[in-house]
Chains A and B, each alone.
Chain A
Amino acid sequence: MKIKSKKKHWTERSIRDYLFRIVADFITQLETKMESLPISQDEYAKKLGVTKGRVSQLLNHPGNFKLENIIKYARALGMKVSVIAYDDNDPQNTRGPINSEIFKMCWEQSGKPRDFWAFEDINKQAEVAANLTINVIHVNVGVPFYLPISIGQITGWNFENVSTYYVEKTVSTQIEIKDQDQLEWIQ
Chain B
Amino acid sequence: MTFGLVSTKLRMCPITTKYRLKFATPEDDKRRAVAFLISNNIRATANTAFKKLSKDHQLWLQIRFEYWISGQRPNKKWFHGWNLSEFQGKYTKCFVFKCREKLQYHRFYGFLRNPKASNPGYQVCVLVIHAYKEGYETDEADLKGVEELRTSPIIIRTIDDYFRGKP
Contacts and interface: CB of A to CB of B under 8 A. Distances in A.
Contact of A17 (B26, B59, B72): B59
Given A10-B62, A60-B100, A63-B56, A31 B72 contact: no
B53 to A, nearest CB: 13
Contacts of B62: 10
Given A63-B56, A99-B72, 18 more contacts: A7-B26, A10-B59, A10-B62, A17-B59, A21-B59, A21-B63, A24-B60, A24-B63, A25-B63, A28-B67, A28-B78, A60-B60, A60-B100, A62-B56, A96-B66, A99-B67, A99-B70, A101-B72
B77 A31 contact: yes
Nearest to B78: A28
Counting contact residues on chain A (CB < 8 A from B), the size range is: 10 to 19
A65 interface: no
Contacts of B77: 31
Closest 9 CB pairs of A and B: A24-B63, A20-B59, A21-B63, A61-B56, A63-B56, A99-B70, A60-B100, A31-B77, A24-B60
Contacts of B100: 60
B64 to A, nearest CB: 9
A169 to B, nearest CB: 26
